[in-house]
Chain A
Amino acid sequence: MDLVLQLLATGLVVGSVYALCALGWGLIYGTTLHFHVAHGAVFSLAAYYAYAAQKLLHLSLPLAFVLASLAAAASGLLIDLLLYQRLERRGAFRTSLFIASLGLLIVVENALAIIFTPDPMRMDIGVLDTSIILGPVFLTYLHVLTILLAAGGYAALMLFLKRSRWGQAIRAVSSSPEMARTVGIDLSRVHLLTYALGSALAAPAGILVALDVGAEPFRGTRFVLVASVGVIMGGIGSIPGALLGGLFLGLLENLGIWKLPSEWQSAISFGTFLAFILIRPRGFFGRTVKSAEL
């Protein structure tokens, strides 16, 4: 029983990171229908921004965290402004956008590897790696922070989408871009805002993982893959679905090895995903996945 509780806690931490990635990716995909794999590049960039802020600019960790998140949001916005919107104006298909996005991911990852070496860059995290003992469960302060940030990120996003004018515009575009345009919503500005928001959600995920085990250039690819799986499982277009999808994958990966050998850890989540899209392609809450949506 102790083991299950520990795996549950560890799974919740991993799931929180996945959820942050999935919230950002799901928001972007749900609104723009861009299969934005370069989200992985933003995830990695955020980690290196934080590293550079702490180690090169000698800023305190909280300040480095906030600045890196802002820089990541700006990076996401620029990707849409300078790459996707230009391609769309030229009438590019979604597949071309996807290929461009993939290309950008590869370029950014390799550039990071050249600048910072492929080795993990460790940051100073002070007392954050101290263990907290909750009965049979051991977590660090960093893990608790991860869970809190995922919960906070989700709440803030929901509040923004429901209460603010811009949030309502995003929801309008997400449910019907044509209708939104008819009522006078500027699609390109809504897209830019969506990219900034989505990237600001991926940033803490990238930074938190870097604080735990160091910033690494090629980590984003796996996380964007997991995020997209989480979003599809949760249901495309559903923000609670993205949160749930991310948490579910983290929990599954960790609880799954309760009875299975550890080497199956990655295969468990992707295997379940395959079964899931065959049996319930709509995900927990969302619209049906159509092949045309790529």
Chain B
Amino acid sequence: MLTRFAALLSLVLVAASPAAAQRAPIKIGAILPLTGSGASYGVWMKGGTEIATEEINAAGGILGSKLEVIYEDHAADASKAVNAMQRLVEVERVPFTLTSYSAISLAIQPIGVQQKVVMMNGGGQSDNLANKEYLYNNIPLISNEVGVLCDWLTQEKRLKSAVMIVANDEAGRNSAKFFRERFTANGGAVLAEEVVALDGNDFRAPLAKLKAAGGDLLFISSYGRNVAIIANQARELGIKAPMAATSWVLIPEVLRAPGAQGMLVTRLPYDANSAFARKFKERYKTEAGFFAVQYYSATKIFAVAAKAAIEKTGKLDGPGIKNAIESIRTFDTITGKLVFQPNHAALLDAEVGVLKDGRVEVEKLVKAAH
């Protein structure tokens, strides 16, 4: 009896009106590092996504439907991310998810392809993320940024030999590979390399080895809060050579770390005084970092693509969103025009500078070669 009533009720609901059907919320996923060594990125990524979602909904949603984001924590663990992706796809039936981290995005991408779910990565930068079906990156690949960094270090800072400490994961190894290639191509030499766990917290032995190897420079090919520990322990062991790293390390823990002051870094530019940045700070009581802007933009890009997909096909599904992204390609974001390259990644300008007193003193801007 109850089943029959439920069946009848659902029939009535479905038949009610197309307007009612349209008002059902559009659900998307967001697989982010909400805990673990990269929890600071998670604060920014989630905050950026939340603000974008609110703005989209305040402006009437996506063609009248409210946007709803389901957040999942991957804690830098690919198996957690795969479970989260399965849940998003099978239980929540999302057509689109935000993703983060190189290893995580690569782990969930086959599921996205199989289930026709579009994935937008705004954080991971491994070059292996390029040319993956259903996966788009509104962030440049690491080879670009490492290239900018190496050119600056060798040509302007006149540093000729380097040692590297490398996180044992997709992102760490990939960035180290390009650093070695570019630094050597520019006439420098990489004297030693030590691979360490991403979630480690005692790096003294590998650092002692790198200190013994010498070098004008210590390149830190890692990310998350352990970079702060690496920097502090390097100074504690008496390593005097300057350290260098990419924009990954620009999180509060590293910016504050005494050992990290003087670090030579790349930075992907954004306006820290924009309306978005002010709104973020007011709401979360912390400065909005680059990754907050990235996920704000990624959510806005989704809204534009989703609207286009619905207008074209009358429904919202993965293939429709994918086609919309491919055909629109250039999106207006708060950091300027963002163009998806044929390899599914973005190109952004990069700045180089020195970390001083908890912030980056920019030395120059390097335009992206479009």
Contact = CB atoms under 8 A, between A and B. Distances in A.
B168 A263 contact: yes
A6 B238 CA distance: 11
Contacts of B229: 213
B240 to A, nearest CB: 11
Interface residues of A, number: 28
A117 to B, nearest CB: 7
Contact of B238 (A133, A253, A263): A133
A6 B208 contact: yes
Given A14-B202, A117-B35, A131-B236, A7 B195 contact: no
A112 B194 CA distance: 33
A259 B50 CA distance: 49
A262 B35 CA distance: 26
A138 B211 CA distance: 12
Contacts of B237: 6, 131, 138
B13 interface: no
A212 B211 CA distance: 21
B212 A119 contact: no
Contacts of B208: 3, 6-7, 10
Interface string B31-43: 0000110010000
B147 interface: no
A257 B212 contact: no
Contact of B205 (A7, A212, A213): A7
A123 B237 CA distance: 21
Given A254-B205, A257-B205, A118 B75 contact: yes
A216 B202 CA distance: 13
Interface of B: 35-36, 39, 75, 168, 194-197, 201-202, 204-206, 208-209, 211-212, 225, 229, 232, 235-238
24 contacts: A2-B212, A3-B208, A3-B209, A6-B212, A7-B205, A7-B208, A7-B209, A118-B35, A119-B35, A119-B39, A120-B201, A120-B225, A131-B237, A138-B237, A138-B238, A212-B201, A212-B202, A213-B201, A213-B202, A213-B229, A214-B201, A261-B195, A263-B168, A263-B197
Interface of A: 2-3, 6-7, 10-11, 14, 117-120, 129, 131, 133, 138, 140, 212-214, 216, 253-254, 257-258, 261-263, 265
The 10 A-B residue pairs whose C-beta atoms are closest, nearest first, are A3-B212, A262-B206, A213-B201, A6-B208, A262-B194, A254-B205, A138-B238, A263-B195, A10-B204, A138-B237
